[in-house]
Structure 1
Amino acid sequence: MKTAPIVPARVDFSGAVPHAPDFGDGYHAPFGAFEQARLVFLGGNGLPGRWAGRTRFVVLETGFGLGNNFLATWAAWRDDPARCERLVFLSVEKHPLTREDLTRAHAASPELALARQLIDAWPPLTPNLHTLDFEDGRVRLMLALGDARDWMPELVASVDAFFLDGFAPAKNPELWDASVLRQTGRLAAPGATAATWSVARSVRDALTSAGFQVEKRPGTGGKWQTTVATFAPRHRAPVPAGRMAPPTLPRDVLVIGAGLAGAACARALSREGLRVTVLEAGATPASQASGNPGGLFHGTLHADDGVHARFNRAAALATERELRRLAGALPWLQWGLLRVEREAQVLDAMRQLQARCGLPADYVQALAADAASALAGATLGRPAWHFPGGGAVSPPALVAAWLAEAGRHPDFSLRLNAPVAALQRDERDELGGRWIARDAAGVELASADAVVLCGGTANAALTAGWTADVEWPWISQRGQLSTLSATLAPGRLSTPVAGLGYALSLPDGSMCFGASADAGDLDPELRAADQAQNLARLAELLPDGPADLIAPPLAGRVGWRSLVPDRLPLVGALPAQAPAQRAEQVRFWPRHPGLMVLGALGSRGITSATLCAELITAQLTGAPWPVESSLADAIDPARFGAKQRRSQG
């Protein structure tokens, strides 16, 4: 998906109804935004009655505007004793309000308490699908910022009710474009409904073409009529195999590995009510690459905003939200990260790049050397990118917090010293087969409807034989992290600093820095040569550090990262045999039911784990996906097979 900078809405608050001068229209009917939401959108979709007794109910809105429809729906959910267990509200908005204008819009809101929660959670205005959780995750707002014509084909969801809102079709035709409304048929769940205040013939015809039965209903508050519709298609195109939820939703899941990936999955899956068993080969969680004393998380930016920049930004924003939620459960957490440029005279180019990307200051800032140095508490000598939502955290503490949260669910178990050597599919189960994890002696360790491989470098052996004769280019990369005690450290950094290497100060005043990267190296011992390399990179990051650190005592940690050559993670269901047609597109590859992988996180495990775990969970449970379809394709395990087929012509 091609992205574009987000241009915030201009709102005129001088009249009785907030007005959009760029569209020449008001944000809601004169008789009140909440009354309009209840009568037109909730009432037109049979809510709250239709969500009664449901595990999940999904609403999709075109045009978030001031957020009144979301707040009214949330309020109705709270007030309904028969409410669904989880409410998901998807909304697309090309011109979102700034936080300041959103605050002003809801200064006298009838749902002020809810509005304040929305304002506090309001994301940086980047072209992403932002997932905001409320009510301990039982209410989820998914905000797709950008053009609806780009976003609607990219959403993966099964939608129960459509709120077709936005400015009048004559004033905002792109939001009512036939291509946008056609997507409602693709996204509609069986029995889905739609409602809108517009009775324009073009709107009704587009809904009819999408498979809806459309009717007009009497309006209210000066609106003579409204439109309601029910999804009743004569025919429906088959969904590509790679985009289907399991035919039978899993009751229980095995997670293999208790590092960052496994712990994030355990937390996300347990929250959805699944029985989760984590099998960890080591004696403790986070015993491999996730065991470093400190690690970084942050986003990136690039002029063309390709898949790497988009994924890393989406992952960083998800991680920031998750760590702010968990902050009280973590022993230490540093906010803000500086990524230092290698040249001193690039500040103008940095600012031009940020302007071209259109990324807001609450996501990234281009800082001059003196400003960056002041923020770091150390002389850097070069300009730097500041990521306010980035920072550093203890990976073992984060893993422990996620596992503790999963452990509050009665059906969760963590088994240590349980190395998995092989997986077997037992087709005798009456519900379609279970996955059995066995140790090296062939003894069954556990079984479940689904399994998620989160074993880092161990994933390569466990996926062998299940990957449709496609060779996955797994890389095991040795990394040596160095540490300096508080007495030897060159000062104390106020914020983590990264560049060719990285450095961060731990709470006790010691400093960890590095790290080396050697593919295929199995040496578990600390090496003086690697420490010398790390010290050289530290001297480049902190040029005013002391000069007597030529050979400090050898101290640090060795671990192995798992990655693949394109430096993107592997997230999704493992592909089975290649399809007879369209094998060059990952979404058409059939999958082994319930066999998932979350791996190849490389050096960005903290940044990537949250978003990847949310995607795995959505794929297993049928929930709306937290990333756009094209981005999911870019990290899909079938991409290597698809690439191979493309190269064969």
Structure 2
Amino acid sequence: MTEPSDPKIDFLQWQEDTPYSLRSQDIYYSRQNGLAESRHVFLDHNQLAARWAALKDEPGVQFTIGETGFGTGLNFLAAWHLWNQFGFKCAYLNYVSAEKNPLTPDVLARAHRAFSEIGALSEQLCQILPPPYPGFHRRVFANERVCLTLLHDDAASAFSTLSTKVDAWFLDGFAPSRNPELWSVPLFRAVADCSAPNATFATFTSASQVRQLLQDVGFNVAKHKGYAHKREMCSGTLTLAGQNTENPSANKTGLPVSAAPWFIKRAPDCDTPIRNVTVIGAGLAGSAAASALALRGLNVTVLEAEQDIASATSGNPIGLSFVRLSTHTSAQNRYYLQAYLYALGALTGVFARAGIAEGDGWRLNGILRVFDDADEKRELEAFMATPQASYLVQALSAEQLSERAGFPIALPGAWQPGSGWMNPATVCRALLAHPNIRVHKATAAHCLAATDVGGWTLTTSQGLISADAVVIANGHSASEFQQTAHLDLRRVRGQVTKLAATPASSKLQHAINYRGYLTPAWQGTHTIGATYHPKRADTEVCSADHEENIAHLNSALPGFLAQNESQAACGGRVAFRCGSPDYLPYVGPAPIVARYIADYQDGLGKGQLKRLYPIGTCYPNLYISAAHGSRGITSSLFAAEIIAYWMLGGPPPVDTETLHALHPARFLIRNLRRRSTTPAE
């Protein structure tokens, strides 16, 4: 008996309880027992149990699995289930998997329901599975110390843009005769390039062309008894001859301009492990960085200069988890979209771990968008016409918007499920609620001094503090250190307005975005805003700015103000967004400016694009997360994952081009190419 699946997943059919691909004319896993097949082929023949038994359970220790076809996620759940049996407290499992045709949570849940022993893990996966939208998707299962990176793309393309080293490969896909792109020369070359020394592989097939391709890229290959009715399968190890053992940072002749050596991750100068990290700043960026590192087993000390956490821009009463969707595929748009998609899966876990219930300072129940700007309307309508866009946004008529808002709205708009509103201080409190994190309030960091072993000594208002690594995440003050004085940080004044809630207005359940934004009532008030004044420096709340916010609200949503007994502001707050010239944050290692000038000025300034250049020299174990602008909630969470990548290694959560676009040295390089030694534009 066959039956169709989700109408959006038109390439899948159910044959009893086994998913079947109509495109490849093949089943996703063995009808006899898919979980047993995963264990036999991929776990056993990569010797994972023995290798994990020998793995040191220390901060920074990671094991990375790469998979060429995620499918139903059954291999991932089998590996996760085995990993949990070892009870690691510090070691981390990275699982990187490509999938060109991703499935939805309901499909995965049905595919897993026959395997009760992984039922709890399946439920966790399905709850935060990313939408079937192209690109990188990061999901962290913090309690089990497991990090899943899904690459919704062709496997060869996805792994060719990934900078990581895989310890064990699950070469999975439909049969080579039915799914040839997953058994191709480009893919296996990418597999070899992404392999760690002595990486292993296992696959269910023993087809001669597959064995030959694997041997051609440097793997030895052995045949074994296959699972159930399958006669043979194969596995193997990357040989010394096949290993790309050369460390780019040790390349004596340098790298070409096309490799962007100034943004490449340099191998550590010493082998001292990172165990203790100091994060400067307890706003959104600092709290998120502290959380990501604590979840990876590090001890984190957070220094906050003010009397309480979330005291600067992060001190606004309400913020939105939100993204402006666009068809333009610039690095900026890719970063903010991937950051938003990460936040959709991460925020519920952040609040759950801290025991903060929905409604207590946050709610992720979707955002309504009103088209009061013609350009934005055209842009979003173009996005909604693209494949898979319906997973992120749906068009709404004025009548549909009015019904969801609870008051008349004259304009059409859209619905973004999964978005929501939250109090930034509540977010920070949730992120910092980890036993590995200590927060020191009223403690300002004044200067940093490097030690001889790759660590740092911080001079603070409360004395000296030592750390193996430092993350600078204190907004505008990030450029006050000698090591980061080159950063161009822009201050943009913004003011929010509070409106007293009435019984009628308190019925509003969803945040609404227009040229400004309106939030549901929280603690007796609605928040609207925010003004945007880059040339103003006054810090006092201004009545003219309240009038500006109320005028924008009245233009887009006059029906809301008609519900209120009073249209006057009952409070407000001024804060200064911290941004950069290209509206992207600075996320990554802190460059040594003098070395960049010495290494690149002569060649890049003269347009010498054919010569070779050395790897960029950055301060050891010093990182930056700053200039998140008005998108701090979504951007900071994702930036923290990028900081963890730069500091500890493992798979990056974004493609290489986007990593480079965020690099704190990007304006140094741009200006050197323009024959300028001025650090910023």
- Matched to 2:669, the amino acid is A
Aligned to 1:528: 543
Instruction: Please state whether the residue corresponding to 2:523 is helix, strand or coil.
Output: coil
Equivalent of 2:494, from 457, 479, 488?
479
Equivalent of 1:341, from 371, 374, 385?
371
1:630 matched to 2:647? The reply is no
Distance 1:119 1:197 in 2: 26
Aligned to 1:119: 126
Matching of residues 310-321 of structure 1 within 5 Å: 310-321=334-345
Return the offset for 1:193.
Answer: 0.7
**What per-residue deviation string (whole Å, max 9, x for no partner) do you get for residues 124-165 of structure 1?**
111132233336142332221121122112223321100001
Instruction: Please state whether the residue corresponding to 1:131 is helix, strand or coil.
Output: strand
Q: Which moved more, 1:337-346 or 1:563-572?
A: 337-346
**What per-residue deviation string (whole Å, max 9, x for no partner) do you get for residues 233-282 of structure 1?**
33534336732464533121110001011111111111212121111110
Distance 1:157 1:344 in 2: 43
Return the offset for 1:367.
Answer: 1.3
**What per-residue deviation string (whole Å, max 9, x for no partner) do you get for residues 15-50 of structure 1?**
685321211222224543222212211121112111
Distance 1:586 1:297 in 2: 41
Seen in structure 2, the aligned counterparts of structure 1 residues 151 and 136 have a Cα distance that, compared at 3 Å, is same
Equivalent of 1:505, from 503, 507, 520?
520
TM-score (norm: length of structure 1) = 0.89
Matching of residues 264-413 of structure 1 within 5 Å: 264-325=288-349, 326-327=351-352, 328-329=355-356, 331-334=360-363, 335-342=365-372, 350-361=380-391, 363-403=392-432, 405-406=433-434, 408-409=435-436, 412-413=437-438
Seen in structure 2, the aligned counterparts of structure 1 residues 552 and 116 have a Cα distance that, compared at 3 Å, is closer
Instruction: Please state whether the residue corresponding to 2:274 is helix, strand or coil.
Output: coil
Instruction: Please state whether the residue corresponding to 2:140 is helix, strand or coil.
Output: strand
Distance 1:282 1:561 in 2: 17
1:415 matched to 2:440? The reply is yes
Instruction: Please state whether the residue corresponding to 1:472 is helix, strand or coil.
Output: coil
**What per-residue deviation string (whole Å, max 9, x for no partner) do you get for residues 494-551 of structure 1?**
2111221112133233111111222253311111222221121121231234479998
8 Å contact kept, 1:369–1:381:
yes
Instruction: Please state whether the residue corresponding to 2:220 is helix, strand or coil.
Output: strand
Distance 2:448 2:549 in 1: 39
Aligned to 1:227: 234
Aligned to 2:286: 262
Return the offset for 1:558.
Answer: 1.1
Distance 2:26 2:518 in 1: 52
8 Å contact kept, 1:25–1:168:
yes
Aligned to 1:3: none
- Matched to 1:340, the amino acid is V
- Matched to 2:330, the amino acid is G
Seen in structure 2, the aligned counterparts of structure 1 residues 315 and 586 have a Cα distance that, compared at 3 Å, is farther
**What per-residue deviation string (whole Å, max 9, x for no partner) do you get for residues 327-357 of structure 1?**
5415232221122212589979855531225
Aligned to 2:245: 236
8 Å contact kept, 1:124–1:360:
no
Aligned to 1:99: 105
Q: Which moved more, 1:79-88 or 1:617-626?
A: 79-88
8 Å contact kept, 2:500–2:569:
no
Q: Which moved more, 1:198-207 or 1:92-101?
A: 198-207
Q: Which ranges in structure 1 are unaligned for 5 or more consecutive residues? A: 1-5
- Matched to 1:59, the amino acid is I
Q: Which ranges in structure 2 are unaligned for 5 or more consecutive residues? A: 1-6, 56-60, 250-260, 677-681
Seen in structure 2, the aligned counterparts of structure 1 residues 39 and 475 have a Cα distance that, compared at 3 Å, is same
Equivalent of 2:161, from 147, 154, 157?
154
- Matched to 1:437, the amino acid is L
1:138 matched to 2:145? The reply is yes
8 Å contact kept, 1:260–1:286:
yes
- Matched to 2:410, the amino acid is G
Aligned to 1:64: 70
Distance 2:489 2:153 in 1: 35
- Matched to 1:177, the amino acid is S
8 Å contact kept, 1:341–1:499:
yes
1:567 matched to 2:592? The reply is no
Seen in structure 2, the aligned counterparts of structure 1 residues 574 and 68 have a Cα distance that, compared at 3 Å, is same
Matching of residues 538-549 of structure 1 within 5 Å: 538-546=553-561
**What per-residue deviation string (whole Å, max 9, x for no partner) do you get for residues 442-486 of structure 1?**
x85312121111101101222x5447xxx5332011211111223
Distance 1:488 1:339 in 2: 23
Q: Which moved more, 1:568-577 or 1:350-359?
A: 350-359
Equivalent of 1:602, from 629, 636, 645?
629
Instruction: Please state whether the residue corresponding to 1:266 is helix, strand or coil.
Output: helix
8 Å contact kept, 1:531–1:554:
no
TM-score (norm: length of structure 2) = 0.85
**What per-residue deviation string (whole Å, max 9, x for no partner) do you get for residues 405-435 of structure 1?**
23x22xx3211112222222222xxxx2322
The count of corresponding residues between Structure 1 and Structure 2 is: 629
Aligned to 1:514: 529
Distance 1:189 1:532 in 2: 60
1:189 matched to 2:196? The reply is yes
8 Å contact kept, 2:91–2:297:
no
